Amino acid sequence: MRPARALIDLQALRHNYQLAREVTGAKALAVIKADAYGHGAVRCAQALEAEADGFAVACIEEALELRAAGIRAPILLLEGFFEADELPLIVEHDFWCVVHSLWQLDAIEQARLAKPIHVWLKLDSGMHRVGLHPNDYKAAYQRLQASANVAKIVLMSHFARADELDCTRSVEQVAVFLGARADLTAEISLRNSPAVLGWPRVPSDWVRPGLMLYGSSPFDEPQATASRLQPVMTLESKVICVRELPAGEPVGYGARFITPKPMRIGVVAMGYADGYPRQAPTGTPVFVDGVRSQLLGRVSMDMLCIDLTDVPQAGLGSTVELWGKNILASEVATAADTIPYQIFCNLKRVPRLYSGN
């Protein structure tokens, strides 16, 4: 069988969730949207359900998958509903629902529901993606509070630049939020992963750890709390061919790398069809037989090449870590001019193998 695989450490996942709780003292929704950022939503939910205060997903399809797998914990729909006819399903499966637009508020008021729902009312505090305008926020809260279709309200917003620790935008967004929710009695939720790790003074009864659950830091620079995260996914494969090349030979498509000296080249069963970033350049780190080495040339659909010149013990069948506990996903993402969120979510074709149950 092809040796490419993703090893998922569920004990590390639990550690990272517990860290979010520890550093905030708040209730925490584990964000497992996009198939738990490529880690497998059902297995991650099963690993966390005994201790998680709930989960958060993007849409009702993701939430229904969890319910079908037997997950009974609260599940928040971060994008709310897209059509009013989803509301009966939200009631039936006891989902919590973000309301970020006035049309959603209208739909809730007009619906005939078997029982009231739990609403998270989202404010646009400055990201300008989704959320109610601050001028509409108090009135929307009052309408929800007056509706027989609403059981409980949590007030929320989302930061645009919390991963920039020297940026004042998050402080400005907090000020907008506190102004809009003045005199409103409800729990609040502001802190996502970067705010959990790097903004301890931001108030939040509920936190929403996402990227940090999977052991990757949202920051470009070292950060004390983020250094305590444990990587959850190890993407690995094996050397399937070794080439001995003289100086001056091209490696891979487009001859993007020319050997500057005689070199040993390892061919690895991993490519962009597996989710490894095609734009990763020569020099992107890899870990082979206990030694850091590097990618050489272009990433192909199914294969990539690495430098074995200074790893004489490595050869056919050697295990290669593309990212994980020795090569952080953030290192690969930086080299490829992308972000860890994307390389996790792009994972496909490789089987996921779980440990730490």
**Can you tell me the mean pLDDT for 32-56?**
98
Q: What SS3 class is residue 266?
A: strand
User: Is 301 labelled as part of a ligand binding site?
Assistant: yes
Distance, CA of 123 to CA of 156 (rounded, Å) = 6
Q: Nearest to residue 303, comparing CAs of 346, 234, 241?
A: 241
Could you tell me where the beta strands, DSSP code E, fall in 299-348?
304-307, 319-323
Tell me the average pLDDT of the chain: 97
As given in the structure block, the two tokens for residue 329 are 């996903």
Q: Which residues have a catalytic role annotated?
A: 33, 253
- What's the pLDDT score for residue 298? 98
For 34, phi and psi rounded to 5 degrees? 50, 50
As given in the structure block, the two tokens for residue 156 are 């929320």
Look-up of token digits 């205060």: 53
Say if residue 343's pLDDT is above 90: yes
Say if residue 175's pLDDT is above 90: yes
Angle between helices 102-110 and 134-146 (to 10 degrees): 10
List the end-to-end C-alpha distance of the chain, in Å, as a whole number: 25
Task: Encode pLDDT of 187-202 as tens digits.
Answer: 999 999 999 999 999 9
Task: Encode pLDDT of 241-294 as tens digits.
Answer: 999 999 999 999 999 999 999 999 999 999 999 999 999 999 999 999 999 999
Share of the chain above pLDDT 70, in %: 100
User: Is 156 labelled as part of a ligand binding site?
Assistant: no
Could you tell me where the beta strands, DSSP code E, fall in 206-282?
206-208, 233-245, 250-251, 257-258, 263-268
As given in the structure block, the two tokens for residue 258 are 């020319």
As given in the structure block, the two tokens for residue 246 are 């003289």
Q: Nearest to residue 326, comparing CAs of 224, 233, 222?
A: 233
Say if residue 357's pLDDT is above 90: no
Domains and CATH numbers, the chain: 9-226 (3.20.20.10), 231-353 (2.40.37.10)
**Can you tell me the mean pLDDT for 61-86?**
98
pLDDT band at 319 (very low <50, low <70, confident <90, very high): very high
Say which residues have a Cβ less than 8 Å from residue 264's Cβ, sequence separation at least 6.
242, 243, 244, 245, 307, 308, 309, 311, 312
